């Protein structure tokens, strides 16, 4: 008796294909790397750095594990790539606002909202970053290098006082994290008030103060 299609046993070739892992996704090396970084970002956000591995990242991107190692040495290296892409998106958004908004007040408000939205969307990635900066020298070095890139982008926006820029960078990052994580609410400050103070810090710097 012939088995119904849904109950037939898979032939050897089909079983071998199923056991070989995910079906390869075609594309350029740049596209492959981008898919791996996107899959890693989702994994780090959902499961944390310590809750996933390179095999799961490769599979989520549609590749066999060997493909991962053609582009990244290890999980730490792709985490740095994810973080750098995350920072680049944030600063691309800031640059677009500065180019579009007319007044320092409008620029400051829109920058604050964009940064807060970006931080609120990625709590898992930010938590992993803080832990890794504290414990992993390679990621700490990459984090410091990223800060220097951010300082350069501030200079490109016309902010030329290095000391004031450094304070602004660290202040905005810390306040945005505290608002996004609900830390300031636990200290008795509502989100609206906290946002207003963040806007004021940014506006003061845009006005050259």
Nearest Cα neighbor of 85 from 149, 152, 170, 137 is 149
Would you give the DSSP letter of residue 64? -
Q: What is the mean pLDDT of residues 179-186?
A: 96
Which residues 6+ apart lie within 8 Å of 10 measured at CB? Answer: 18
* CATH code of the domain occupying 23-72: 1.10.10.60
Mean pLDDT for the chain overall: 90
Q: Is the pLDDT of residue 197 over 90?
A: yes
Q: Give the residue, 164 or 13, on which the prediction is more confident.
A: 164
Q: Is the pLDDT of residue 113 over 50?
A: yes
Q: What is the mean pLDDT of residues 77-92?
A: 98
pLDDT score at 23: 53
For residues 123 and 21, give the distance between their C-alpha atoms in angstroms, rounded to a whole number. Answer: 30
* 167's tokens: 């304070």
- What interhelical angle do 29-47 and 75-100 show, nearest 10? 90
pLDDT score at 209: 86
Residue 155: CA count within 13 A, CB half-sphere: 11
Q: Is the pLDDT of residue 41 over 50?
A: yes
Nearest Cα neighbor of 108 from 209, 199, 204 is 199
Residue 81 contacts residue 37 (beta carbons within 8 Å): yes
For residues 55 and 64, give the distance between their C-alpha atoms in angstroms, rounded to a whole number. Answer: 8
| pLDDT digit string, tens, across residues 157-168 | 999 999 999 999
Q: What are the domain boundaries of the chain? A: 23-72, 76-206
Q: Give the residue, 10 or 161, on which the prediction is more confident.
A: 161
Q: What is the mean pLDDT of residues 49-63?
A: 97
Nearest Cα neighbor of 198 from 96, 84, 81, 120 is 120
CATH 3.30.70.260 fits 76-206, yes or no: no
Q: What angle do CA 145, 148, 154 make, to 5 degrees?
A: 150
pLDDT score at 19: 37
For residues 198 and 112, give the distance between their C-alpha atoms in angstroms, rounded to a whole number. Answer: 7
Q: What is the mean pLDDT of residues 30-45?
A: 97
Which residues 6+ apart lie within 8 Å of 180 measured at CB? Answer: 116, 119, 120, 123, 126
Rounded to the nearest angstrom, the gap between the alpha carbon of residue 147 and the centroid of all alpha carbons in its chain is 14
For residues 138 and 41, give the distance between their C-alpha atoms in angstroms, rounded to a whole number. Answer: 18
Phi, psi of 16 (to 5 degrees): -65, -40
């Amino acid at each position: 008796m012939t088995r119904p299609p849904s109950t037939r046993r898979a032939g050897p070739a089909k079983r071998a294909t199923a056991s070989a892992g995910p079906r390869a996704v075609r594309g350029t090396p740049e596209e492959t790397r981008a898919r791996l970084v996107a899959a890693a970002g989702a994994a780090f956000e959902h499961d944390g750095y310590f809750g996933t591995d390179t095999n799961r990242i490769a599979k989520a991107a549609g590749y066999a594990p060997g493909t991962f190692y053609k582009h990244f040495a290890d999980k730490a290296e792709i985490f740095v790539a994810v973080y750098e892409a995350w920072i680049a998106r944030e600063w691309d958004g800031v640059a677009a606002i500065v180019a579009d908004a007319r007044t320092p007040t409008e620029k400051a408000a829109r920058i604050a909202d964009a940064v807060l939205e970006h931080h609120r969307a990625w709590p898992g990635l930010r938590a992993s970053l803080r832990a890794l900066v504290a414990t992993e020298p390679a990621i700490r070095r990459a984090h410091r290098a990223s800060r220097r890139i951010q300082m350069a982008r501030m200079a490109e926006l016309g902010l030329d006082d290095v000391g004031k820029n450094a304070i602004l960078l660290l202040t905005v990052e810390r306040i945005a994290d505290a608002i996004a994580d609900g830390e300031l609410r636990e200290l008795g400050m509502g989100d609206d008030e906290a946002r207003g103070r963040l806007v004021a810090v940014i506006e003061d710097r845009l006005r050259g103060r």
